């Protein structure tokens, strides 16, 4: 069975769970708050490239004049 990551909308917990193919796409119960308000996360393999211009670097003397 594949391992998937889920995010709980109720308490914000992220957890991994082995999910049967027939259960993929269905909400899984959060192990912390037992809520079903969970979403499946996409696999975190997209760590290449720099297509996320979140301005957290070059904080000193910005480009604005
Ligand atoms: Zn939860």
Reduced to 3 states, what is the DSSP secondary structure of residue 22?
Answer: helix
What pLDDT does 23 receive?
Answer: 87
Distance 64 CA to ligand 1 centre (A): 42
In this prediction, the residues of the chain whose per-residue pLDDT falls under 50 are 45-47
Q: Sign of torsion, CA 5 10 11 12?
A: positive
**Residues linked to residue 6 through DSSP beta bridges, in sequence order:** 15, 40
Residues surrounding ion ligand 1 at CB below 5 Å: 8, 10-11, 13, 30, 32-33, 35
* pTM over the 0.85 mark: no
What pLDDT does 47 receive?
Answer: 46
What pLDDT does 26 receive?
Answer: 87
What pLDDT does 46 receive?
Answer: 45
Structure token digits, residue 12:
């914000």
């Amino acid at each position: 069975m594949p391992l998937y990551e889920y995010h709980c909308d109720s308490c914000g917990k992220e957890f991994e769970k082995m999910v049967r193919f027939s259960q993929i796409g269905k909400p899984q119960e959060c192990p912390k708050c037992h809520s079903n308000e969970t979403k499946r996360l996409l696999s975190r393999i997209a760590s290449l490239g720099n297509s996320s211009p979140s301005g957290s670097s070059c904080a000193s003397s910005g480009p604005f004049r």
